[in-house]
Structure 1
């Protein structure tokens, strides 16, 4: 099961995510997501319905970062300010700016909550814990409400065929199970902090329910 994914890389990128005054660098946010996509891909095609969408969103964010207004996309905070000030966010599904940075990042933000919850469940799990149940519970608490019935059904069917806990720990490429648990204990609070800062910023600017 082991692939190119390494849990240490998740820790490193999310450590780099936050500036001293807790602004989120989009460059490292994307890098962290690339690691999480690698994690999902290590488990085969089961998560492709989420990882493919994440990859497309990462590419959109990279386009903003490399574009003529790239300086405004250095942090999530500067992006929100720039796009709102310049009316680049589509609040009405009118078709204008359908792929604004704010909307694109919101999709990643929602999926990040699912992964954060799932990784935290893995960290606190026991040998008897079923990954299918952990993954479903994390999904129901996060992404499910934003997915159509069709995608929800497909997701829940996919979760049923997940490999066991040992296979997930092996994919982490972080040593023994004890070492993996310790490193998850380092990774999940970092992801959680980045998620919470984004959540608070989006809530303050009424961006959490963008269509």
Structure 2
């Protein structure tokens, strides 16, 4: 069964990010991880080209699921409670990645950076003309987000891989929400949900000087 038959579409995934914020604008971790799983399905539906990102995301999701079901799970209800707990109990390596390589703060930061890339790329697909080259859109989004945290050899390999991306029309159709025009309209409605979660997370990390965790 392919994703269109199983009822999967990108709108459902993007709108699910709405559930990540409660009334106090806390980022709830369970809905956040569930929403990311939907994004991984979307990336995987586009073929092996995004495997380098989706494999890394899956490993980070597994770390977070272990923490949120482990002995300290009450501290992993929201991003805010997790940061307060880990920073307060000195479980975050601010200088170098040594004693706590799998801290929740570090792990979610990696997801957070990948989310920014995907948000920028989808926004690029939404606002670009029909004949826009997806390789350029994806490279620009990557350079504005994840590239700063990858060594040169990875950046080179990634930007070469992007040259083989399918057309903008193929991407929009892979979203399973109808015509390319309907997909563009959907992105306009649904991308703000990701953007809001990203902005709240960014502000929290900035307040605690955690944006550059090694």
Hey, what's the Cα distance between the residues in 1 that align with 2:97 and 2:57?
A: 23
- The question of whether the paired residues in 2 share the 8 Å contact of 1:3 and 1:171 is answered with no
Unaligned 5+ runs, structure 2: none
CA shift for structure 1 position 64: 0.7
Q: Is 2:11–2:187's contact at 8 Å kept on the other side of the alignment?
A: no
Match status 1:164 vs 2:192 = no
Give the corresponding residue for 2:135.
132
Deviates more, 1:178-187 or 1:70-79: 178-187
Higher mean displacement: 182-191 or 110-119: 182-191
Question: Which shifted more, 7-16 or 75-84?
Answer: 7-16
Q: Cα offset for 1:195?
A: 0.5
2:201 matches 1:198: yes
Aligned-CA RMSD value? 1.2
Q: Where does structure 1 differ by over 2 angstroms across 4 or more consecutive aligned residues?
A: 2-5
Structure 2 CA distance for aligned equivalents of residues 198 and 29 of structure 1: 11
Q: CA deviation at 1:94?
A: 5.5
Does the 8 Å CA contact 1:11/1:186 hold for their aligned counterparts? Answer: no
Report deviation, 1:171: 0.8
Which residues of 2 match residues 51-70 of structure 1 at below 5 A? 51-70=54-73
2:94–2:213 CA contact under 8 A, matched in 1: yes
Work out whether residues 89 and 100 of structure 1, in 8 Å CA contact, stay in contact via their aligned partners in 2.
Answer: yes
Q: Count matched residues.
A: 210
* 3-state SS, counterpart of residue 53 of structure 1: helix
